[in-house]
Structure 1
Amino acid sequence: MDGLTLQARLPFAEGQSFGATGPYELLLGRARYAVDPRAPGNAPITDLALAPRDADGLIRFEGDVQILRPVDLARGNRRLFFDWGNRGNKRCLQYFNDAPGSNLPLAEEHAGNGYLMRRGYSIVWGAWQGDLLPGNGWVILDAPVAMRDGAPVTGTVRAEFIGQEGVNTFPLGVYTSTYSHPAVDGPATLTRRRYPWAPREAVPAGEWQFGRHEAGMGLEVFGRDSIVAPSRRHLHMPAGFRPGWIYELVYTAEAPRVLGLGHAAVRDLVSWLRHDATAANPLRGAVDKAYGWGRSQTGRTIRDFLHAGFNADAAGRRVFDGLLPHVAGAGRLFIGRFANLTVPAGQQYEDHDNAADAFPFSYAETTDHLTGATDAILKRPATDPLVMHSQSATEYWQRRGSLVHTTTQGEDLPQPEGVRIYHWCSSQHAANPRLTKPATGPFLNTENVVWTSMLFRALLEAMDAWATDGTPPPPSAMPRRADGTAATMAEWRGRFPAIPGVAVPRGPSDFPLYDFGLEAGVQTILPPRVADAAGYAVLVPAVDADGNDLGGVRAPMVAAPLATYTAWNLRARGNAAGALHEYTGSTIPFAETEAERDATGDPRPSVQARYGDAAGYVAAITAAAEALVAQRLMLAEDLPRGARAAARWHAPRHDVGLG
């Protein structure tokens, strides 16, 4: 790293003091990076040899850095907490502090419950995603373009779109936030299909074009002009896209960015903040330990960062002491040529063919029975960090999460001593800690309402104790074949209760078989091969008589349930009915009274039979929370929060009419 320029120093939370730590401030700056393409630690970066170099043979680029630190660093805990930032967004204050989301966290409300501040962490957001466009306060990395013979590299790109009502133009990057690889002359085809497994049908060339719809002021007093402007960065269909249909564009593009430099940026920034002794370092001399956290996209990024060896800095030192990837499933990040880092990991319906999952899936060494390859995500004992991998139940259904802790044939796989895996039973991928009224949408059931943020805080406490003085964290809690808590689909179907009117999935997401080791890191399999029936084994959590998950950590709302909480929700009629919907789970309420249960034929005991009244429910939630505290899976400070939230049947999360 070549230095950091601070651009602003802003008071946080209106100067609020956080216990012994005191007040905080937010620093805004830009980091300057200088990466040596000849260094062995940079070898995994795709197209590094094609990035422009300066006179010294170095690759130079810049990125945003923001640091939320104690005003008096001496009052902090000497711990750096790096939030990878999901698609440029700051997430840790939402999930650890139960705060409202913000990309410029300055107001008092952005401190939430103050957890990270009261503990004294210095929080760092450093840009890593090199294909984001500026906007919405995102942290941006200015990754260079791969060049060959003085011209941008060209090649084949695949992009997938799901049609929406009234939409006739999409950016080629799919999302408005994301860099679109511009089209150039060459082959281009557009297909559509109703389901991922349905045959592709060609869209006639006359029905689409590279262009964008524009409307504006007309020359007449009454009326507006509307044109289609040529655009190398947009896909246009004059008649519109069929709502809910999957469109796949394969075209010839240019100017891929060298996105793997994002890994180097994180490595070099955190190492510099830990070790640089100059006055330019805003955390100079105040970091003894560094922890990193990311969720979903950035959980996969962490796993890819580790697999590629970026937890060793240029001097061979460990960068992060502990990493906490959350809801990553079995995936990593395809970060090769023409990658789109914003696109979500492959699911049963959405983005099914996104190359997010490839062997190795586990932190432990194992052999891929399909290819004979042997590998592991952790394979460098001198610099590997401690890892706490947590995942919701959604990852077992949509993200092949069982492969994190099984062999490729579905057998239990012991993990390294420095790894813990925690399945958060019956919770969904996002699990908004500030959820009010649960969402409904193009799916059959109300979304999953399970509250799990208390688990984040407990795991970070356990990680710090583990990294600091070797205190072992709680043992892994995950579905296992050995005790029957990891199930095949047939086994799951045999146990899930027959709830009146509730449809169940056809199965978890099947498995496209990818190869990340392609020449020059280019995904050339379009579409990817799909493993056959004898391919990778994908298991799901077994369930109890209520249909709630076994084999993991049960948040208080699951241990004392008011419903069956599932990690899956099915698309409704007219929206690819029957397929799993994104990362959405379900809340399927119990009958409120025994009379209602008898009338509906529900096999699950009613709320009335379980708890009697609201006080009985609060008592059950409190007992469940106390059990988690005893296991070090919840902090004592969260006990009164949980009891207050449960006082009215967890309203407005739940609509239970009992008095």
Structure 2
Amino acid sequence: MTVSDISIIKSAPYAGGQRFGEIGSYTEVDLTVNFEIGPDDYAHQVIADLPLCKESDQIVRFSSDAKILIPENGNNKLVLDVPNRGRNLILKMLNNSPEVSSSSSGWEPGNAFLLENGYTLTWCGWQHDVPDTPGLLTIKGPQPFQNGSPISGKITMTIQTNELTRYHLLSERGHSPLPAKNVGESAAILTVQENEDADPTVIDREAWNFGKEQANKFVPDPNYVFLETGFEPGKIYRVTYTSVNTIANGIGLLATRDWVSFLRNGAKGIECSTLDTVYGFGHSQSGRFLRHLIYLGLNLDAQNKKVFDGIIAHAAGARRGEFNQRFAQPSSAIKQSKSNLPPFSATTPDSLNHESLLDAQYERGGVPKLFLINTASEYWWAHASLSHTTPDGQNDLEPDPICRMYFYSGTQHSSGKFPLTTKDLGNGVESETYFNFIDYRPALRALFIQLVNWVEKDVNPSDNRVPRIDNGTLVPYHALRNTYKASNVIPDPVHIKQISQMEFSDLEDDIQNVPKFLGDPLPVLVPSVNDSFNEYSGITLPEVAVPLGIHLGWNLRHARIGGSGQIIGTIGSSIVPAEPLQPKEDYLKLIENEFERLLKEGFALEFDRKYIINEASIHYDAILQLQ
């Protein structure tokens, strides 16, 4: 049993019926998909609390939102984009579509890269706690019961704000909260610390409560935590309390598995051509989701047929996520989390007598071809180095031959932010230096084509391109801090997120989602820099190879939002030069030469020649105006 039935909510021409060359137009279909998991499904062995969700007939049932874009004359290939907090990202990442805003839905065709190549595109909701907002894809499922009652337990929620506020939702990013079971819980604890390295201080229980402020009055509310003196921006608060688990959140992994299986095995009820090849794409949280799916061995469906032929886990670092546990916060990025447990690397199983991300999938079969791609940011805040080094940071590791690993030199988590800015008005973040403006998406498009050729034509992709210990291009971050000082312009990254060896408790009286024991910190190794203070050991895009300034994968919180010296995890830096620029014509010639280099290496497409040169021209003009 997998997909039991579908309900089509909307079927209409996509993008107003726009035609995409020989492919023709696309049809946009919105659906609700109902799933059934039988008692003999492998999922019961690996999905937390799934057996506690069975109905009287021993079936587990749940439903997801889904969307599919179907081409008129497609190439019979499917790409599933794992929604990121309910949103589509592949159109932004591969098609350069605009981000969601007051003037954009986020679903525009952009440069039509995927559409003009005839790919069928789909999305399936997997995250249970995304906000109830139109356009976001979610999943609804059963609540696990144990001995006839919902499961309760102690959990910890981390809070860091960018402005002073007296109350905060018990969740991250405005998602559905994990409510307090009892707003008067006397044993609940709230702590505060200046940064991740500082010791926490317990705040007097009389000074805070569960609730919020309405009309200048405190109102009890199990979904919020209230602090009389206010949560100070930049400081790190952690509240430990008793909550009730609402869902077996690992069903999101099953929804993804079974939706793809349904589409590639007939797609009954949907007018869709036969699909013979399937790719999975996930950026950031969604990339970690795909790492987790492989870790659990879920790339075989309920009939033991392969789900994905190829996967790109993009900007995921060495992490997985809270995608299969009680009291899960799937959007959490805290360091003391089960999402930061090994295995980190995708080595050949048993090759070095330690765990691999691929162990379960190799044991079951159905291992896909796998691209693990990171930006520079992931080395600074998501421990990307652990995906290709030993856990002690002393030696390089080679990935399994079914896997390739790449990194973009001098880039931030989400592709470059331009026009130049130090503020994100959406979340209140403000940085010390300009956000990194390097756009790595041309390289991502080229890598996508390399994966396609590997899967469909057995053409080997480019060799791994990551920094390494053995050649000195991967170094301890504290060593690079000393190098940065010589620049006289790079700020000092004093406080970073550094994970440790962790042990979690299974005892009901212990906190469920943070470790009971913390061991030694794991090493943070980062890409080294050249004489211009720019990285060079990865896929080096033209504007990093011939830089106008310094481009880094990290930035620091501005003093105005508190937390001075703390790294902002996903935001990089572009530090523009004060000295006069070379003539623009000469500069753009260098950019074109570097594009030719990338083209020969397979890390750029002719499709992007004009785009790359034009972007460099625009950035040159913007920097010139600052001088």
What is the TM-score with the length of structure 1 in the denominator? 0.87
Q: 1:106 to 1:272 in 2, by over 3 A?
A: farther
Report SS of the residue matched to 1:303. Answer: helix
* Aligned residue in 2 for 1:12: 14
Residue from 236, 241, 247 that aligns with 2:231:
241
Question: Over residues 491-531 of structure 1, what are the superposed CA-to-partner deviations in whole Å (9 max), with x where a residue is unaligned?
Answer: 434644612243222475322323479579x9637456444
Amino acid at match of 2:203: V
Residue from 536, 545, 565 that aligns with 2:522:
536
* Aligned residue in 1 for 2:426: none
* Aligned residue in 1 for 2:65: 64
Question: What is the correspondence of 1:456-535 to structure 2 with a 5 Å cutoff?
Answer: 456-489=444-477, 491-493=479-481, 495-496=483-484, 498-506=486-494, 509-515=497-503, 518=506, 524=512, 526=514, 529-532=517-520
Q: 1:105 to 1:68 in 2, by over 3 A?
A: farther
Contact kept, 8 Å, 1:10 with 1:25, in 2: the verdict is yes
Segments of structure 2 that go 5 or more residues without pairing to the other structure are 424-428
Contact kept, 8 Å, 1:621 with 1:646, in 2: the verdict is yes
Shift of 1:480: 1.0
Question: Over residues 592-633 of structure 1, what are the superposed CA-to-partner deviations in whole Å (9 max), with x where a residue is unaligned?
Answer: 32xxxxxxxxxxxxx33xxxx111111111111111111111
Q: 1:451 to 1:342 in 2, by over 3 A?
A: same
Report SS of the residue matched to 1:416. Answer: coil
Report SS of the residue matched to 1:238. Answer: strand
**Could you tell me how far apart the structure 1 residues matched to 2:43 and 2:348 are?**
21
Question: What is the correspondence of 1:41-56 to structure 2 with a 5 Å cutoff?
Answer: 41-51=43-53, 53-56=54-57
**Could you tell me how far apart the structure 2 residues matched to 1:38 and 1:86 are?**
30
* Aligned residue in 1 for 2:438: 450
Residue from 245, 254, 267 that aligns with 2:244:
254
Contact kept, 8 Å, 2:250 with 2:325, in 1: the verdict is yes
**Could you tell me how far apart the structure 2 residues matched to 1:249 and 1:527 are?**
15
Shift of 1:560: 1.7
Amino acid at match of 1:403: L
**Could you tell me how far apart the structure 2 residues matched to 1:135 and 1:28 are?**
15
Contact kept, 8 Å, 1:592 with 1:657, in 2: the verdict is no
Question: Over residues 220-275 of structure 1, what are the superposed CA-to-partner deviations in whole Å (9 max), with x where a residue is unaligned?
Answer: xxxxxx43222111111233212221110000111331100110110011001000
1:214 aligns with 2:214: yes
Shift of 1:69: 1.6
Segments of structure 1 that go 5 or more residues without pairing to the other structure are 216-225, 346-350, 594-606
Shift of 1:165: 3.0
Shift of 1:179: 3.6
Report SS of the residue matched to 1:120. Answer: coil
What is the TM-score with the length of structure 2 in the denominator? 0.92
Q: 1:546 to 1:136 in 2, by over 3 A?
A: farther
* Aligned residue in 2 for 1:596: none
Deviates more, 1:104-113 or 1:405-414: 104-113
Q: 1:165 to 1:487 in 2, by over 3 A?
A: closer
Shift of 1:365: 4.5
* Aligned residue in 2 for 1:265: 255
Q: 1:463 to 1:182 in 2, by over 3 A?
A: same
Residue from 383, 392, 402 that aligns with 1:418:
402
Shift of 1:418: 1.1
Identity over aligned pairs, percent: 27
Shift of 1:374: 3.2
Question: What is the correspondence of 1:274-353 to structure 2 with a 5 Å cutoff?
Answer: 274-276=264-266, 278=268, 280-283=269-272, 285-334=273-322, 335-343=324-332, 345=333, 351-353=334-336
* Aligned residue in 2 for 1:155: 153
Residue from 215, 222, 232 that aligns with 2:222:
232
Question: What is the correspondence of 1:70-149 to structure 2 with a 5 Å cutoff?
Answer: 70=71, 72=72, 75-102=73-100, 110-149=108-147
Contact kept, 8 Å, 1:427 with 1:567, in 2: the verdict is yes
Q: 1:13 to 1:480 in 2, by over 3 A?
A: same
Question: Over residues 367-396 of structure 1, what are the superposed CA-to-partner deviations in whole Å (9 max), with x where a residue is unaligned?
Answer: 899xx8534335534311001111000111
**Could you tell me how far apart the structure 2 residues matched to 1:423 and 1:213 are?**
45
Amino acid at match of 1:20: E
Residue from 339, 350, 373 that aligns with 1:356:
339
**Could you tell me how far apart the structure 1 residues matched to 2:193 and 2:524 are?**
25
* Aligned residue in 2 for 1:30: 32
Q: 1:452 to 1:623 in 2, by over 3 A?
A: same
**Could you tell me how far apart the structure 2 residues matched to 1:507 and 1:214 are?**
36
Contact kept, 8 Å, 2:165 with 2:232, in 1: the verdict is no
**Could you tell me how far apart the structure 2 residues matched to 1:619 and 1:436 are?**
23
Q: 1:21 to 1:364 in 2, by over 3 A?
A: same
Amino acid at match of 1:171: L
**Could you tell me how far apart the structure 1 residues matched to 2:452 and 2:503 are?**
36
Report SS of the residue matched to 2:278. Answer: strand
* Aligned residue in 1 for 2:558: 572
1:549 aligns with 2:547: no
Question: Over residues 52-77 of structure 1, what are the superposed CA-to-partner deviations in whole Å (9 max), with x where a residue is unaligned?
Answer: x334210111110001121x2xx111
Deviates more, 1:558-567 or 1:639-648: 639-648
How many residues are aligned here? Answer: 613
Contact kept, 8 Å, 1:511 with 1:530, in 2: the verdict is no
Residue from 631, 634, 645 that aligns with 2:604:
634
Amino acid at match of 2:381: Q
Deviates more, 1:155-164 or 1:103-112: 103-112
Shift of 1:651: 4.4
Shift of 1:325: 0.6
* Aligned residue in 2 for 1:188: 188
Residue from 607, 614, 628 that aligns with 2:584:
614
Contact kept, 8 Å, 1:427 with 1:448, in 2: the verdict is yes
**Could you tell me how far apart the structure 2 residues matched to 1:103 and 1:81 are?**
25
**Could you tell me how far apart the structure 1 residues matched to 2:102 and 2:414 are?**
21
Contact kept, 8 Å, 1:193 with 1:201, in 2: the verdict is yes
Contact kept, 8 Å, 1:88 with 1:127, in 2: the verdict is yes
**Could you tell me how far apart the structure 1 residues matched to 2:499 and 2:351 are?**
14
Q: 1:572 to 1:645 in 2, by over 3 A?
A: closer
* Aligned residue in 2 for 1:427: 411
Q: 1:488 to 1:137 in 2, by over 3 A?
A: same
